[in-house]
Amino acid sequence: MGSGLLQAQETAAAAVDSGNSAWIFTATALVLFMTMPGLALFYGGLVRGKNFLSVLGQCAGIAFVASLLWVGGLYSLAFKGDGKWIGDLSAAFLHGIGTDAVAVNTSIPELLFVMFQMTFAIITPALYIGAVVERMKFSAVMLFSALWLALVYTPVTKWVWGGGWLFEMGIRDLAGGIVVHATAGVSALVLAILLGKRKGFPQHPHPPHNPAMVFIGAAMLWVGWFGFNAGSQLSAGGSAAMTMLVTHLSACAAALVWMLLEKVRNGKIGVVGMVTGLVAGLATVTPASGDVGPLGAIAIGSLAAVVCYFAVSLIREKWHIDDSLDVFAVHGVGGILGTILLAFFGQKSLGGLGIVKPVGEQLLIQLTGLGVTIVWSALATVILFFLVKKTIGVRVTQEQEYEGLDRAEHGENAYPMES
Using alpha carbons, select from 98, 120, 96, 121 the residue that is nearest to residue 111. 98
Is residue 346 within 8 Å of residue 292, measured between CB atoms?
yes
Give CA separation, 305 vs 34, 187, 360, 367, in Å: 21, 22, 25, 21
Using alpha carbons, select from 314, 315, 288, 316 the residue that is nearest to residue 300. 288
Task: Please give the Cα distance from 116 to 305 (Å, whole number).
Answer: 29
Q: What separation, in Å, do the N-terminal and C-terminal C-alpha atoms of the chain show?
A: 67
Cα dihedral sign, 187-188-189-195: positive
Threshold 0.85, pTM exceeds: yes
Peptide bond into 211 cis (omega under 30): no
Can you list the alpha helix ranges (DSSP code H) found in 163-230? Answer: 165-169, 183-195, 211-230
One pLDDT digit (tens) per residue for the chain, 419 residues: 443 433 444 445 558 999 999 999 999 999 999 999 999 999 999 999 999 999 999 999 999 999 999 999 999 999 999 999 999 999 999 999 999 999 999 999 999 999 999 999 999 999 999 999 999 999 999 999 999 999 999 999 999 999 999 999 999 999 999 999 999 999 999 999 999 999 988 887 789 999 999 999 999 999 999 999 999 999 999 999 999 999 999 999 999 999 999 999 999 999 999 999 999 999 999 999 999 999 999 999 999 999 999 999 999 999 999 999 999 999 999 999 999 999 999 999 999 998 989 999 999 999 999 999 999 999 999 999 999 999 999 999 999 999 999 999 999 999 986 54
**Structural domains of the chain sorted by starting position, each given as residue range(s) with its CATH number in brackets:** 9-393 (1.10.3430.10)
